[in-house]
Amino acid sequence: MCPKVFSEVSFYIRHGRHHTVMPSNINYRANIWALKEENCSHVLVTTACGSLREEIQPGDLVIIDQFIDRTTKRHCTFYDGQHSSLSGVCHVPMAEPFCAKTREVLIETAKKLGLQCHSKGTMITIEGPRFSSRAESLMFRSWGADVINMTTVPEVILAKEAGMSYASIAMATDYDCWKEHEEAVSVDKVLKTLKGNANKATSILLTAIPQIGSMEWTDTLHTLKTTVQCSVILPKQ
């Protein structure tokens, strides 16, 4: 799905306008590559998620800083040895998957707007499209995950390989199914909470994007590009 261009900002809807594409079938590589072809330097995303922590309440926002990958069916690299792919094998570092500088802008913007926002959190991405069993939800909590969704991976990895600054606003809609005496996650519950959260995320983006555009990013983007270049092992000629 190619992004629609609005002035100097490009955007796309992961699941399609009518949510017809399930998480596993999203063409993440095409989406990120299309943004790269538009010369985008930053990828700012929003994502609905379930909360795995008491303190992250439905309606809260989380500027995530780490992820755990529980997906199994997705293309997670541009360097997969196929004829149409980039040459070589890329072992890109993932100690800091999300751009710290961009995250800081989002965090400060949320504070200025008076929004309930957690400044860090670990996202666990599952394959979906089903929600977790209670046993899985409890296991993910024991692993240290704070929120759960179905789309952060491989998007964040591909953005890193593309040398782009990536940051995510996670919008908590429910408590997944781990919490006793709490209604388990359902589509109706997610959509109801998401409607209110969407306005919060939009406010952050509308304020943060002009600020990001006015900042100096040469060193940050150079570091991202260099990291990728140093991570690719090219085939011997």
Residue positions annotated with a catalytic role: 174, 176
Return left, alpha or beta for 190; rule: phi > 0 is left, psi -120 to 50 is alpha, else beta. Answer: alpha
Please compute Rg for the chain using Cα positions: 18
Structure tokens at 200: 């919060």
Structure tokens at 30: 């095409």
Structure tokens at 7: 């002035």
Q: CA-CA-CA-CA torsion for 78, 131, 129, 15, nearest 10 degrees?
A: -80
Distance CA 14, CA 1 (A): 8
3-state SS, residue 232: strand
What is the residue whose two structure tokens read 């809609």? 173
Q: Are 174 and 50 in contact (CB under 8 A)?
A: yes
Distance CA 173, CA 152 (A): 16
Residue type, 88: G
Cα atoms in the 13 Å half-sphere on the side-chain side of 51:
23
First to last CA, the chain: 35
Distance CA 10, CA 47 (A): 17
